[in-house]
Structure 1
Amino acid sequence: MTSLLRRVKSKMAIFAHRKARGMLDGEYGSVFRGRSLDFDDLRAYVAGDDVRDIDWKASARHGSPLIKRYVAGRRQTVLLVTDTGRNMAADARDGEPKKDIAVMALGVVGYLAQRHGDVVGLVCGDGLGTRSIPAKAGEAHLERLLREIDSATTLDSGPSRIETQLDHVARTVKGRFLLFVVADELAAGKEIEQLLRRLRAQHEILWLTVRDADLAGEGRTDLDAFSVADSAALMGHLAASPAIREAYTQMAGERDAGREAMFRRAGITEGHVTGSSTVMTELFALLERHRRAG
């Protein structure tokens, strides 16, 4: 059986070849502000680093800017929160299953947490129930979490409802954690916004939205599909209608704008991915936006 974590690390290695993995690693380390840090070593300055971390004396001796690296004086807890309902078994914008993208994104953040000495836990489920796995360290534990997500997300799963998992966190999780949430395109609403505000008052929250397939887009007129949410037929030939495409685009735009405004009011940083190939770059941008927003 192929290791899901090994698959994640292999894709991270490709990103590292683009000389950006160190930047992603640094951005993760900056998410928790005000924690106890001890000096570790020096590394080369890269764009986006905080100039306050430059060691000017060492930089002068070296001939180029060097950044002080620190290690956490205490462990942080990262809680991966994700939807394993049947919506996540559907295809995303780039044509691959949403759950594969979720496993990639959650695996990257979990691996970064492990590298920084943090512990990682999981809350996942659907509208019918929630499963929680306590936070621990170690790659074997992270592999277990990824396998739980992968095996639980099928077309036979219950309906997707990330609110169920968020409510579970609000009721049961004590202390201040970093919540990394991966879900599909959430619709804004008064109840979910109140829940998000309640969670944000206690935790750091990063949110990654996996974009839906665009069945009304150009080139999809020969495709007949069905909604995994309720098995309703989605006739591909209807997408040939300019009026239907326009209405679909307007509806999707209004939903996105409503969600983005809700997250902004709640003080939550959101990113979007269309496929696993965009996970690494979007995670870097997400972490950077979160740091600057703080």
Structure 2
Amino acid sequence: MTAASDRLLRRLEWQVLRRLDGRLQGGHRTVWRGVGIDFADLRAYTPEDDVRHIDWNVTARMDEPFVRQYTEDRELTAWLVLDRSASMRVGGGDAPGKESVLTELAICLARLLSQHGNRVGAILYDNRHQKVIPPRAGRNQILRLAHELDRPVPADGHGATTDLAAMLRLAATTSRRRSLFLVLSDFIGEPGWERALTLLAHRHEVVAVRIVDPAELRLPDLGLVIIEDAETGEQLLVDTGDPLLRRRFRAQAREREAALDGAVTRAGAVAHRVTTDTDLVDALVGMVHRSRRRPR
């Protein structure tokens, strides 16, 4: 691993994770926990048992009901699904861009999840390049993730929107065992990804973190400007001084945000939104608190 990745991890540990520990007071240990179950034993059925646990094959052979007992696997395997498409590489200026926020958020989440021996893996995705980092525990794994995220995505130009469904299908094929998947993306791309997210959430616990640049939610008055599609590169000249245009832009942005939240929730995932001007500690605390309140 490089010295740059080590410096990045140390900076985040000092600036973010140290502050985070005080805010969460240790509560994060039970927020994302092991979600697998292993068969342990059989025993006779009692009226208090859940009928869904009855083993009908054994019940038929023994001529009395038996239930299967399970032990919960507390070891957690977590996957970070990281969208590194063209739209994630725009923005920035005085504030961090979406790609920068994704990098820091991913490293903090990986460090937080791995603190108690959990294994963390990652999928780095754009339309033409995908990299899978198998799940492992330990600091070296976080350094490897930081190193990969510090490497620039090869420039392929514009012309194709992100195939989010393909990204989610790739995630679904990486783990046969029930795991936690944290999808970090702006969810700007080809429509029709909802089914792939539903299938992923049917088998795994899924948290969808949408990373949003505030400029995507409001149109400032800058006069005549050329707007470029972040995914395809298509350009359009617009008059941002038109108040009607700005109002319509804000209304459409609100509708888009509500539709995205609704689609993620209907798919069975937990929806979070992190804007690039949000303090990273506040964003992580909000994610943990919201996940803690979700019924299991």
Q: Output the TM-score relative to the length of structure 2.
A: 0.74
User: Does the 8 Å CA contact 1:183/1:208 hold for their aligned counterparts?
Assistant: yes
Instruction: Pick closer, same or farther for the CA change 1:211–1:122 going to 2, 3 Å.
Output: same
Matches within 5 A, 1:191-202: 191-202=192-203
User: Does the 8 Å CA contact 1:78/1:120 hold for their aligned counterparts?
Assistant: yes
Q: Partner amino acid for 1:231?
A: G
Quote the Cα distance in structure 2 between the aligned partners of 1:250 and 1:220: 19
User: Does the 8 Å CA contact 1:93/1:275 hold for their aligned counterparts?
Assistant: no
| Pairwise CA distance, 1:225 | 5.2
Q: Partner amino acid for 1:247?
A: R
Q: Which residue of 1 aligns with 2:149?
A: 149
Q: Which residue of 1 aligns with 2:253?
A: 252
User: Does the 8 Å CA contact 2:208/2:271 hold for their aligned counterparts?
Assistant: yes
User: Does the 8 Å CA contact 1:15/1:21 hold for their aligned counterparts?
Assistant: no
| Pairwise CA distance, 1:109 | 0.7
Q: Partner amino acid for 1:245?
A: R
> Which secondary structure state, in structure 1, belongs to the residue aligned with residue 215 of structure 2?
coil
| Pairwise CA distance, 1:178 | 0.9
Does residue 5 of structure 2 align to residue 31 of structure 1? no
> Which secondary structure state, in structure 1, belongs to the residue aligned with residue 209 of structure 2?
strand
Instruction: Pick closer, same or farther for the CA change 1:155–1:94 going to 2, 3 Å.
Output: farther
Q: Which residue of 2 aligns with 1:100?
A: 100
Quote the Cα distance in structure 2 between the aligned partners of 1:145 and 1:254: 35
User: Does the 8 Å CA contact 1:271/1:283 hold for their aligned counterparts?
Assistant: no
Q: Which residue of 2 aligns with 1:49?
A: none
Structure 1 window deviating more from structure 2 (106-115 vs 136-145): it is 136-145
Quote the Cα distance in structure 2 between the aligned partners of 1:254 and 1:73: 40
Quote the Cα distance in structure 1 between the aligned partners of 2:230 and 2:251: 22
Instruction: Pick closer, same or farther for the CA change 1:164–1:110 going to 2, 3 Å.
Output: same
Instruction: Pick closer, same or farther for the CA change 1:245–1:93 going to 2, 3 Å.
Output: farther
Q: Output the TM-score relative to the length of structure 1.
A: 0.75
Structure 1 window deviating more from structure 2 (124-133 vs 72-81): it is 72-81
Gaps of 5+ in 2: 38-71
User: Does the 8 Å CA contact 1:179/1:204 hold for their aligned counterparts?
Assistant: yes
| Pairwise CA distance, 1:82 | 0.9
Aligned length: 257
Quote the Cα distance in structure 2 between the aligned partners of 1:283 and 1:19: 8
Quote the Cα distance in structure 2 between the aligned partners of 1:118 and 1:95: 33
Instruction: Pick closer, same or farther for the CA change 1:146–1:16 going to 2, 3 Å.
Output: closer
| Pairwise CA distance, 1:127 | 2.4
Q: Which residue of 1 aligns with 2:263?
A: 262
User: Over aligned residue pairs, what C-alpha RMSD do you find?
Assistant: 3.1
Instruction: Pick closer, same or farther for the CA change 1:5–1:25 going to 2, 3 Å.
Output: farther
User: Does the 8 Å CA contact 2:35/2:179 hold for their aligned counterparts?
Assistant: no
Q: Which residue of 2 aligns with 1:116?
A: 116
| Pairwise CA distance, 1:168 | 0.8
Does residue 132 of structure 2 align to residue 137 of structure 1? no
User: Does the 8 Å CA contact 1:126/1:164 hold for their aligned counterparts?
Assistant: no
Structure 1 window deviating more from structure 2 (209-218 vs 165-174): it is 209-218
State the Cα deviation string for residues 115-152 of structure 1 (Å, max 9, x = none): 11111111121123532121112222222223323325
| Pairwise CA distance, 1:278 | 2.4
Gaps of 5+ in 1: 37-71
Q: Which residue of 2 aligns with 1:166?
A: 168
> Which secondary structure state, in structure 2, belongs to the residue aligned with residue 214 of structure 1?
helix
| Pairwise CA distance, 1:167 | 0.5
Structure 1 window deviating more from structure 2 (72-81 vs 199-208): it is 72-81
Quote the Cα distance in structure 1 between the aligned partners of 2:79 and 2:213: 24
